[in-house]
Amino acid sequence: MSRAFVKEDDDLQRFRENALEEGHLREWLAIQEKKLLFLRESPKALEIDAEKRTEWIRSIEEDVARCRTLLGIPDEG
């Protein structure tokens, strides 16, 4: 097989992997944003220990910021 075809196949494979990874990252971001919204606004979230809830919010905010950076999405803050 020609090296040109091999390179094209490698490039196509890399593109597919990147697209799949980006899709998973966008899904993860949506899940994390839902969690954050729940922890901040749901009356049920107030039943969670305040210290633990604050720790989770901080952790999820960091994860959301990291995901947004990786995806090139400007921060909403």
The answer to whether position 77 is within a domain reads no
The answer to whether position 55 is within a domain reads yes
Number of domains, the chain = 1
Full domain range(s) for residue 12: 3-71
Q: Is the pLDDT of residue 5 over 90?
A: no
Nearest to 24 by CA among 70, 61, 56: 70
Can you tell me the distance from the alpha carbon of 33 to that of 60, in angstroms, rounded to the nearest whole number? Answer: 8
pLDDT reported for residue 3: 59
The answer to whether position 76 is within a domain reads no
Structure tokens at 38: 């729940």
pLDDT tens-digit series, residues 61-75: 999 999 999 999 987
pLDDT tens-digit series, residues 16-59: 888 889 999 999 999 999 999 999 999 999 999 999 999 999 99
pLDDT reported for residue 11: 80
Q: How many CB atoms lie within 10 A of CB 49?
A: 9
